[in-house]
Structure formats: C-alpha cells, structure tokens
Amino acid sequence: MTKKRVVVFSGAGLSAESGIPTFRGSDGLWENHRIEDVASPDGWARDPKLVLNFYAMRFEKVQSVQPNAGHRSLADLQEKFDVINITQNIDNLLERAGCNNVWHLHGRIDYQKCERHYDIFGLRDSYFNCDFKSEISKPVQWGDKCPKCGAQLRPDVVWFGESVDMRRGYLEELIETASIFIGVGTSAQVYPAAGLLTLFEETEQKFFIDPNPAYEALLGFEVIKSTATAVLPELVQRLLQAE
Ligand code: NAD
C-alpha cells in the first residue's frame, strides 16, 4: 500500500530548543552583526573574512548541538508516512535525527561551494560559473580554494539577494499529492516562505505550530500556539495511531 504523503515546512523555531537561536524579533542584528554585513553578496565583497568567521562560529554551534524531540518525532513519522521536509534551516539536525528526505531551501552550513558558483539575480556570469560543491567537516577558511577553478570557497548558504533553491515542478507535485501539511517554527517573512504556507491551503489536514505565530488566521489550519518539542511528539503519535 502506498504511504500517505506528509509535507513538513520548518523554520528556525524547529531548532531553537536545540540551542540554535532564531533570527527575528530583537534589534535587527544577527548575533551582533548587521544582516547585510554577514548574509549578502555585498557583505562578502566588502569583508569575506568577517563572513567566514561568522559562518565558522555558526558551523561549530550546529555541530555542538543535538536534534531535539521535534526533529526526532519527524523522523518517527516516516514509519507510516512518506515524509518530505522542506526547511529554511541551514543546520543538519533533521538529517541527524534520521529524516531521509530533506529539501534545504537556503542551503546547508556543512556544505561549501565555489564563490563563482552562486547565482545572484542579474549578476550571473556563465564564464565564471563553477559548479563545485562538497560536504565539509570543518568550516571554510580564508584561502580555501575551489579545486576546479581556484576561486575562494564559501559556505553553501543562500544570502539575501541570491536565488533560493526552488524546484517549482517538484513543489507543484507535493501540493497535489500531500495529504497532511505541518508548518513549524517559521515567521514566514523570508521569500518564499509566506507564499508556501498558502499553497497548501487545499491539503486535507493542516497544522501550524509556533508559540508566536505570525499568521493566526491561516485558512483551514489547526494553529497550535506552542513549541516544537511540546507539540510535535504528541501530534506525530496522533497521526501514526490514526493511520
Ligand atoms: P525566524 O527567526 O524568522 O522565525 C522563527 C519562528 O520560530 C518565529 O515565528 C518564532 O515564534 C518561532 N519559534 C521560536 N521558538 C520556537 C519553538 N521552540 N518552537 C516552534 N517555533 C518557535 O525564522 P525563519 O522563519 O526560519 O526565517 C529565518 C531565516 O534565517 C531563514 O532563512 C533561515 O535560513 C535562517 N536561520 C536558520 C537557522 C537554522 O538553520 N537553525 C537559525 C536562524 C536563522
């Protein structure tokens, strides 16, 4: 029998209880840096060493924390469902919890790519484009060179102003075939998150988990105002038992 499909869309809130801070809310700074300094092509052009240091800290942080009960319960859901995780998170906690189908819209901190590989709107230069990308076990350093073209390497994360890894055909297929949709821990302010939630309005069963949801009136959604670790284990058990 084919398993029913569950699409889970997560943001920084899913990893908050593992000890990785979320992004929004305070003073517009991200761990004491202006976002445009550490997460934009301009910031990279101005001071690449600062950017590499910032991501080196975040890399070490991700490696030092553990998946929480929310990540683990999403892995448990695979027992009876075909689970597809779409995440804005650049950490690897879903994979480390055992989730085997994860689509990272904004890349992964434990991957690196050539600085010539990125695809900034309007600035792509196919002459310089280099498709080198690989998994790493230590942060990218200044002076780490692309083995294909010799340019500087950078983390494989999507910065403001760069293209998101959108697979439109695949997304359409997911919208058509999902029986259950779970949104968790996202303020859905960053493209394409806001649109993505509404795309699943026709899905049979829909949940949204966030202690402080930016969207209280999501059409047809069961909005649960609480944290990922408080809600997901119970919700997953409920779904498994009903199946
Ligand atoms: P966001 O910081 O804009 O929003 C986080 C949301 O999580 C908020 O709505 C908040 O109320 C909710 N939240 C906080 N604690 C929670 C908990 N314990 N359980 C459930 N929800 C909780 O995050 P975003 O919407 O993901 O957008 C931020 C951007 O920054 C993304 O592009 C992402 O790539 C990046 N980011 C990633 C990480 C990570 O990889 N873990 C961390 C911070 C930021």
Any long-range contacts for 169-176 (C-beta under 8 Å, 24+ apart)? 170/103, 171/196, 171/199, 174/5, 174/7, 174/84, 174/86, 175/199, 175/200, 175/202, 175/203
Tell me the CA distances in angstroms from 104 to 60, 91, 93, one per residue in order: 19, 9, 12
- Before 211, cis peptide (omega within 30)? no
The answer, yes or no, to whether any atom of ligand 1 lies below 6 A from the CB of 89, is yes
CATH 3.30.530.20 fits 21-64+110-157, yes or no: no
Nearest CA to ligand 1 atom 14: 13
Provide the greatest CA pair distance for the chain: 55
Q: How many CB atoms lie within 10 A of CB 127?
A: 6
Mean of the per-residue pLDDT values for the chain? 89
Give me the amino acid identity at 162.
E
Q: Which atom of ligand 1 is nearest to the CA of 158?
A: 34
Cα 133 to middle of ligand 1, angstroms: 26
Q: Indicate which residue's Cα is closest to atom 32 of ligand 1.
A: 88
- Per-residue pLDDT tens for 66-101? 999 999 999 999 999 999 999 999 999 999 999 999
Does ligand 1 lie within 6 Å of residue 110's CB atom?
no
Q: Which residues contact 47 (CB under 8 A, 6 or more apart)?
A: 37
Listed in order, the ranges of the chain carrying CATH 3.30.1600.10 are 21-64+110-157
Residues of the chain with CATH 3.40.50.1220: 1-20+67-106+165-243
Using pLDDT thresholds of 50, 70 and 90, give the confidence band for residue 129: low
Total-model pTM: 0.92
Class of domain 1-20+67-106+165-243: alpha beta
| Interval 144-195: pLDDT, tens | 998 888 889 999 999 988 878 778 889 999 999 999 999 999 988 776 777 8
Which residues are part of the catalytic machinery?
106
Cα separation of 2 and 125, whole Å? 44
